[in-house]
Amino acid sequence: MQVTIVGFWHAFPEAGEAASGYLLEENGFQLLLDCGSGVISQLQHYTELSGIDAVLLSHYHQDHVGDFGAFQYYRLLEPVLWPEKQHQTAVYAHREDEEGFQRLFYKEAVQPTEYRAEEPFTAGPFTITPTAVKHAVPCFGFRIETAGGSLFFTADTSYLPELEQAAAHVDVLIAESSFYAGQDGSFAGHMNSEEAAALAKRAEAGKLILTHLPHFGDHTQLKREAESIFSGPVELAAGGLKINIS
């Protein structure tokens, strides 16, 4: 599987960038994980919108779904303007917030499907297991596996010991690091760099990608802080960063 980081910012995208969004590709199947503000614009640097086979959403904060409205409009226009490209896009989301789930429906163009905690499902070549995380609103992390590799995406969460098992032995852990070492983000349902690294260490992940990065401080400090705890490779999320998992 190949992962392309489309966006990684906490809360809102900085100029020319995007909030949470990750393009996962395997055997030509394209899965968009989260669709935060700025994602639909940035995504087109890496693929055509018509190529997206599935969208998977962690929760209904705008930095994770803010551009889903743009995607709905694309889906509405596609059969009119580019009928030759028309195809189905599956959308997977939770119903712990019914209002948020209902907002995903859009005429005939978008019909979401519910996922539930700890009930694995498949989207093309991906097997996805949602795990409830600890955030200000209902939110899910995902273990995503293919025949060739595995990753865990924490979405937005404060430190939750259960994630050590959910993410056990993944090749790549994409973990949110909204705060620096010593700062307590749990009041808002977020982790800091030390907690992200502790999760990677206890889960024995192969590699740690720090994401959902804050709008303050020097991000290279987050990397140094994480490296002081987790002995495996650590990288900072960046727009366009590609990670091969095999």
Name the residues that contact Zn ion, by CB under 5 A: 61, 63, 156
Report CA 106 to chain centroid distance, whole Å.
Answer: 22
CA dist 213 and 174 (Å) reads: 12
At its nearest, how many Å lie between Zn ion and the CB of residue 45? 22
Using the minimum distance from each CB to Zn ion, give the nearer residue, 30 or 158.
Answer: 158
At its nearest, how many Å lie between Zn ion and the CB of residue 244? 26
At its nearest, how many Å lie between Zn ion and the CB of residue 77? 28
Using the minimum distance from each CB to Zn ion, give the nearer residue, 63 or 67.
Answer: 63
Using the minimum distance from each CB to Zn ion, give the nearer residue, 17 or 25.
Answer: 17
At its nearest, how many Å lie between Zn ion and the CB of residue 12? 10
Using the minimum distance from each CB to Zn ion, give the nearer residue, 140 or 171.
Answer: 140
Tally of CB atoms within 10 A around 94: 22
Residue 86 carries which side chain, given as an amino acid letter?
Q
Residue 229 is classified by DSSP as T
Strand order in the sheet with 29-33: 112-114, 90-93, 54-56, 29-33, 21-26, 2-7, 242-244
Q: Cβ distance 230 to 208 under 8 Å?
A: yes
Using the minimum distance from each CB to Zn ion, give the nearer residue, 63 or 171.
Answer: 63
At its nearest, how many Å lie between Zn ion and the CB of residue 238? 17
Which residues touch 7 (CB under 8 Å, ≥6 apart)? 13, 17, 18, 19, 20, 21, 36, 37, 38, 39, 42, 239
H or E element that contains 30: strand 29-33
Using the minimum distance from each CB to Zn ion, give the nearer residue, 112 or 185.
Answer: 185
At its nearest, how many Å lie between Zn ion and the CB of residue 184? 17
